Structure formats: C-alpha cells, structure tokens
Amino acid sequence: MNRTLAIGLFSGTDDRLNAAAVLIAGAAALGRPVHVFLQYWALAAFRGAIIDEDHGLAPEAGAAGADAVHRLARLGQASWAETLRQAKEIGQVEIQACSLSMDLFELEADDLDPLVDGVEGVTAFWLAASDADVLFI
C-alpha cells in the first residue's frame, strides 16, 4: 500500500483539479508517497498570483454543473489548492513543474505557488515514477 502514486497533471479547470486533489489527498492519507508533474494548463493554474482564483470548469459541466460546483463552494468545500495544502501536511506529496511547460508560459520558479516544490524534466518524472501507479489527469 505504500506504492508511489505518480500523476501527470495536465488539466487546469477546477473540476479536474479538485478530482485530482481528492485522489491525491486520499492516497497521501493512506501513507502513499505522491509525485505530481505539472504540465500545460495545470501548471498555469499553480501560478501564485492566481491559484486561489476561479479556474473555470470543463465545458461538459454546463450551467447546471456549474451551479452545483458553486453551491458546494459556498457551503465551505475546501478548494483543490487547500486540499493539496492539507495533503502535504499529513503525507508525502511532492509537486514538480514540467520544465517544458515552464518554457511554454515563460515562468520562473518564483511565479509559482509555494505548493510547487521545484522544476523537473520528463526524465526525472519517469525516474520518480519507476515503481509507481501512474495517472494522467
């Protein structure tokens, strides 16, 4: 049960990020190390200046889905960023930015939220995931 969970986190909408955060927090609470590799729109969402803002939803949410998500937020549901902060407190969760995606958005490490532990290339990701369950979200 302490097999690493490695996640290529690509999506940057609040619904997918929240689903990812719940899966990460659940795995971390069970004692599993989690290694997250932020690509594309997920990396953009982890910029410190905007991480706690609204990141939209997948188009399939529609108006009814958006209403449901916003209702739960008003009721006090933790945001995905907050869930990840809690997961890092209780477990071993490492979050790395993909170096290619850093170039894509012309970001520096300082632009990222403190949730992000560093920047790595794809080779480092695969080495961290060498004995892991691997998800792409």
Residue 56 within binding range of a copy of itself, rule CB under 8 A:
yes
Cα gap 91→104, rounded to integer Å: 30
DSSP conformation letters of 80-102: HHHHHHHHHHHS-EEEEEEHHHH
Stretch touching a copy of itself by CB under 8 A, among 46-54, 57-65, 85-93, 108-116: 57-65
Residue 32 within binding range of a copy of itself, rule CB under 8 A:
yes
For a copy of itself, the binding residue among 50, 72, 90, 109 (CB under 8 A) is 72
Q: Among residues 114 and 127, whose Cβ is nearest to a copy of itself?
A: 127
Tracing tokens 């590799």 back to the chain, one arrives at 37
For a copy of itself, the binding residue among 4, 11, 93, 116 (CB under 8 A) is 11
Strands 118-120 and 132-136: unpaired
CA angle 82/38/63 to nearest 5° reads: 60
Residues 77-96 binding a copy of itself (CB under 8 A) are none
